[in-house]
Structure 1
């Protein structure tokens, strides 16, 4: 079981994010997207800081710098996704954001000259196709929202890459706390600039923000950071892509959504992607590599 601690932690992360779709939609009925981001990051950072306050003693300057960098990248990614959603459809936004699953291995190769693992690349491509079938509604129209959503995917890919790099030599708890508090500070600066600093207290909506702060932010990002200490960034991106799969299952179970053949194929492709990246099937191992001419 210990061998798969990274995979298990990321599956829980993806499940939490998948379950957050409904809660986020409730919260957005009462708070702007920017208020939502700032508050959830603040709650997440403060909760983790209080729970692990002993671990936060003697945090190194290097850890603060790395956590602040991750927090800045994280906030930019969320902001691009949020603004992009204002100009494009939710399905295209979800799909284009999830394209990070194929960008991650390419960034790893470009930045660190990491050899491309054929199993993980195959899994990444299959996961992207699965996400497309689960969420994408075909449309030839391209707008600024699509571009912003794609930029969001690139920034999220950098977040996964740098999380994997930094967590090797840093305490994952300290890294996560600094990261979330940095994102919260940036969030409230943006609220001041936009004139949205006055956050109303609405009973029903406060619960959704607390849920997003504790589970969707504190627990999820802590699990992600810890998990990436044990597995590769490409594998992490593939497992995190199951967020849409869990969202589909919960929509069927809770909201009574009817599963279609297209959705079933998409879910199957995502699960196949994980199996290939995890087990590295012997069929592929025995296939001879094409010689270079």
Structure 2
């Protein structure tokens, strides 16, 4: 039980820290290559990293005389990788496209809108949504207005791209929640990046390749996002969601917005206006308020029952 609590609470926070700092690396890489090219590179790196991890784990278990890892049925793994990888591919494209014209701090907070969207998805499943969540939605909308809408009542294209990515990440979180108990988590993560590689590579054919003479400038950010943000963090996400309430895990992962704002200010020296900071505060309040009915650290109902109704198994 204690191990489960650590996995369900610590792993999402580590994931959030990695994702938040990765916004800076993604912003730097966006200056040198298109979104499809960047996502192809990160997905390839993540796939081979996780493939090697699966191989090392199999050798380690064999050396200890343990039973080989069960990856679940091949059918579930294929369907799961297509669903998770497809959603991740689309979400990553819109996020990277948005980072071409918006700051890492703003992108982090707008992406974190999935914290409200995940519980709201329960409405489609006929589940009750607590009143506090509706107040959270209003706060999130107000926060998005302060963040994205300028004094001239216009919205930048980058903000809109990142807003779309929040909806796509919601779909990816729900897909992971559905398949994480059916297949091995590391195998699912590896397979979803194989799908992402294929999808992104098709789009990369339409983009100009990054200049090779500037390789030292963008190699570091690409490797960081490929190994840590993709290979490590998305695997931790899958492991954290196993037997967990997806709404609670998404709350903890949404702290990536704070890490993104801090990393952007420390590393890139970016600054937001007072109006944008107000938007961040409103969205953070929505994040917390949306999850008040869900007690942290407790084992909640699975995907169909875990969208804020507070019932335990």
> TM tier, shorter chain?
0.7 to 0.9
What secondary structure does 1:29 align onto? coil
1:39-94 CA-partner distances (Å, limit 9, x unpaired): 001101110111112359786132122112210111011223334556x6447655
User: Counterparts of 1:191 and 1:264 in 2: how far apart (Å)?
Assistant: 33
What secondary structure does 2:95 align onto? helix
Given the superposition, is the C-alpha separation of residues 169 and 127 from structure 1 closer, same or farther in structure 2, using an over 3 Å criterion?
farther
Which structure 2 residues correspond to residues 106-117 of structure 1 after superposition, within 5 A? 106-110=120-124, 112-117=125-130
Tell me how far 1:197 sits from its aligned partner. 5.6
Could you tell me whether the CA contact under 8 Å between 2:251 and 2:288 is conserved in 1? no
Tell me how far 1:8 sits from its aligned partner. 1.3
Which structure 2 residues correspond to residues 50-129 of structure 1 after superposition, within 5 A? 50-53=52-55, 54=58, 60-84=74-98, 89-90=102-103, 94-110=108-124, 112-117=125-130, 121=133, 125=137, 128=140
Tell me how far 1:130 sits from its aligned partner. 9.5
Could you tell me whether the CA contact under 8 Å between 2:18 and 2:229 is conserved in 1? yes
Match of 2:12 in 1: 10
Which of 209, 232, 257 is 1:219 aligned to? 232
In structure 1, stretches of 5+ residues that fail to align are 281-293
Instruction: Figure out how many residues of one structure are paired with residues of the other and give that number.
Output: 275
Could you tell me whether the CA contact under 8 Å between 1:239 and 1:274 is conserved in 2? no
1:171 aligns with 2:184: yes
Tell me how far 1:4 sits from its aligned partner. 3.9
Deviation larger for 216-225 or 29-38: 29-38
Which of 141, 144, 169 is 1:156 aligned to? 169
Given the superposition, is the C-alpha separation of residues 173 and 221 from structure 1 closer, same or farther in structure 2, using an over 3 Å criterion?
same
Q: CA RMSD in A?
A: 3.5
User: Counterparts of 1:246 and 1:84 in 2: how far apart (Å)?
Assistant: 18
1:143-191 CA-partner distances (Å, limit 9, x unpaired): 7665544432222211111111111222111111100111011111111
User: Counterparts of 2:188 and 2:30 in 1: how far apart (Å)?
Assistant: 28
User: Counterparts of 2:160 and 2:102 in 1: how far apart (Å)?
Assistant: 12
1:248 aligns with 2:250: no
In structure 2, stretches of 5+ residues that fail to align are 59-68, 297-313
Could you tell me whether the CA contact under 8 Å between 1:5 and 1:230 is conserved in 2? no
Which structure 2 residues correspond to residues 38-53 of structure 1 after superposition, within 5 A? 38-53=40-55
1:216-249 CA-partner distances (Å, limit 9, x unpaired): 1111100111111132222222222211111223
Could you tell me whether the CA contact under 8 Å between 1:95 and 1:131 is conserved in 2? no
Deviation larger for 231-240 or 175-184: 231-240
User: Counterparts of 2:284 and 2:122 in 1: how far apart (Å)?
Assistant: 27
Given the superposition, is the C-alpha separation of residues 189 and 12 from structure 1 closer, same or farther in structure 2, using an over 3 Å criterion?
same
